[in-house]
Homo-oligomer: A and B are copies of this chain.
Amino acid sequence: MEHAPYTVCKTCTIRTKSFCGALPVRSLDSLANTRRLVRFERRQTIVCEGATAVSLFNIVSGVVKLYRSLPDGRTQIVGIRLPGEFFAIADGEKYTATAEALTSVVVCRFSRSRLKQLMQQFPQIQARLLEMSYRHLAAAQDQIFLLGRKTAREKVASFLMRYSGKFDPERMDKYRRVPMTRTEIADFLGLTTETVSRVLTSFAREKLVAIDLSHSVRLLNIDLLRKIAGN
């Protein structure tokens, strides 16, 4: 799991600098010393639901899905985390969801106990975590509304509007690849693979999207998709 050499996370350092502004250099060093970079390939599990929470992570690059599942196989993705965001910020002793890499991912691992000390020393870090958890709470509310009250078409349209292109920011508006299988999209939207597939082909027939080789989705009519997504 942790082959990566002991490296300082540049992304975090940069972010830390911008957020912690006036911190003395020595503080930044001590911050850096509590972190290390770890790389995960697509489909690798980063943390497991129910395991004792020892670390928390900041994403340097790549995308991570958080999911929960029941013994009978029912699975639900409860969140998607993009570069710069934190995950596995558990409330108590245990992780509340499993985290798995959706793309190649480089994460910055923080020791939980050490971070607690650092937060006391540098409130700016805490402020950043707080701000981010509000954003995630608002995103969770979006998903709750989507799951509770939207139709399959609305769900898929919302998903495309929200996430397509977020996976490789360089080619953002050209291809908007979504490196998720139909099953994963279904597990995000509370649907089945078949339904996701049917909705996507129906969108393709209506010229709302184009489905290229390797299942890349390109958005053709963003305005109409936004209208279908509703809010």
Residues of A bordering B, CB below 8 Å: 66, 68, 70, 74-76, 78-79, 89-91, 96-97, 119-120, 123, 126-127, 129-131, 133-138, 140-141, 143-145, 147-149, 187, 189-190, 230-231
Contacts and interface: CB of A to CB of B under 8 A. Distances in A.
For the complex formed by this chain, how many copies does it contain in all?
2
Contact of A130 (B90, B129, B135): B129
Given A123-B123, A127-B126, A134 B76 contact: no
A230 B126 contact: no
A131 B70 contact: no
B91 A149 contact: no
Contacts of A91: 131, 134-135, 137-138
Given A126-B127, A148-B187, 11 more contacts: A68-B145, A70-B230, A79-B141, A91-B134, A91-B138, A119-B127, A120-B127, A123-B123, A133-B137, A137-B137, A147-B147
